[in-house]
Structure 1
């Protein structure tokens, strides 16, 4: 093709048709430029198509990951509500003259006091897209912002749960070890274990100002954890809605 155009130019020059030669040369340049632009357009179209496919794939995987975390967080919120409700009830039974209460209720309160649920969100898809830079192919700026903000919310929530665990390990055991046989607690594998034959010292617990303070600290921190869990849950909900909206672009 190039040889064909070159032969035409030579013929025009040899015949002295300079004006026609210039017009032809300009026309040839225009055709080359148009060809380049078309090639670039096709290349851009292919790149956009590939990127759109990658974005859709990423959104689907992120949605699946966040839905799983959403469901786990919903269970966490139920646990927090359960613990908080028991701590509110338990706090009403303390005083210098408080008498023992029904054994099953007491043990339920002790078990709730000793229990801190653990939340470990799945982050494989998000972390991988972040480290590879693929997170940048998401077109929706609001979605990108919320995805970036969720990490901070998860960290804050995790810190509160760690504080609750430290409260348990640093204070609970020391206050309960000589007052209540831990083998009687209704949590985990201990539920099925043989009950202790030692007497239950309820009065030592219910008439202890330190233990009353511990229960109220547990209640306040659990309420704080629930509030942050609800905030995180709301953002997860918004992200899922945004992803669903974005996926409609690919239908």
Structure 2
């Protein structure tokens, strides 16, 4: 092909047809430029397809993480509700409500003190953030929603740490010197179990103002965490819907 064009140029020069040669040369340059532009366009298209494929893989991984996270969120929300209910019952004992069964006291204080925490399944998105490639997600709504979920978890972790500090100060430390934890765990694991429980220990615990304050704080903080978790769950469900729509495009 190159020899063919070269012969044409040589023929035009030999025939002393400079104007035609000039036009031909310009045309040849135009063809070369067009060829380069087409090549660049193809290259850009290939790169776009490659990035799109990579984005889809990332979105599918994030989607799976979010679905797993949704299951965990539903579970911990129910557990927070249970802890709020138990903390309110425990606080009522310290406000004069009569304890009908010793096992009730043991069950509810163990239910509150048993530490449970939910950690998000956001491995794929964290890797994306750490690599600095968040911009590969082109859908701004998805990107912003994922960042919002991350920020919400950071806020939740702060509250959770504060609650753990309260637990340690007002509940774990005082109770460790008064009541047998093993008995509480047995009753919590099986509320219908028949074991001998110490009424004397309960009476001592009922006189402890730190413990009373601990259950008041436990009710407040578990309720706060529950509300934060519900909001995160809503954002997770919304993001799942957005990603599923994006993948189907």
For 2:99 and 2:136, locate their aligned partners in 1 and report how far apart those are by CA, in whole Å: 63
Cross-structure match for 1:121: 120
For 1:224 and 1:197, locate their aligned partners in 2 and report how far apart those are by CA, in whole Å: 33
Cross-structure match for 2:183: 184
Cross-structure match for 1:153: 152
Contact 1:100/1:202, CA 8 A, preserved across alignment: no
Q: Which moved more, 1:72-81 or 1:85-94?
A: 85-94
For 2:4 and 2:194, locate their aligned partners in 1 and report how far apart those are by CA, in whole Å: 98
Structure 2 CA distance for partners of 1:130 and 1:174, relative to 1, 3 Å:
closer
Structure 2 CA distance for partners of 1:98 and 1:61, relative to 1, 3 Å:
closer
For 1:198 and 1:248, locate their aligned partners in 2 and report how far apart those are by CA, in whole Å: 62
- Counting matched residue pairs gives 248
1:236 Cα deviation from its structure 2 partner: 1.1
Cross-structure match for 1:108: 107
Cross-structure match for 2:54: 54
For 1:166 and 1:188, locate their aligned partners in 2 and report how far apart those are by CA, in whole Å: 25
Contact 2:170/2:211, CA 8 A, preserved across alignment: no
Secondary structure at the residue paired with 1:186?
helix
1:104 Cα deviation from its structure 2 partner: 2.1
Backbone CA RMSD of aligned residues: 2.5
1:127-138 matches, cutoff 5 A: 127-138=126-137
- Give the gaps of 5 or more residues in structure 1: none
- CA deviation map 1:106-156 (0-9, x unaligned): 112111221231122233211222233443211101111121222221111
For 2:173 and 2:130, locate their aligned partners in 1 and report how far apart those are by CA, in whole Å: 44
For 1:213 and 1:110, locate their aligned partners in 2 and report how far apart those are by CA, in whole Å: 13
TM-score using structure 2 length: 0.89
Cross-structure match for 1:165: 164
For 2:92 and 2:221, locate their aligned partners in 1 and report how far apart those are by CA, in whole Å: 18
Cross-structure match for 2:241: 241
Q: Which moved more, 1:54-63 or 1:18-27?
A: 18-27
1:210 Cα deviation from its structure 2 partner: 3.2
For 1:239 and 1:139, locate their aligned partners in 2 and report how far apart those are by CA, in whole Å: 14
Q: Which moved more, 1:214-223 or 1:229-238?
A: 229-238
Runs of 4+ in 1 over 6 A off after TM superposition: 187-194
TM-score using structure 1 length: 0.88
1:196 Cα deviation from its structure 2 partner: 6.6
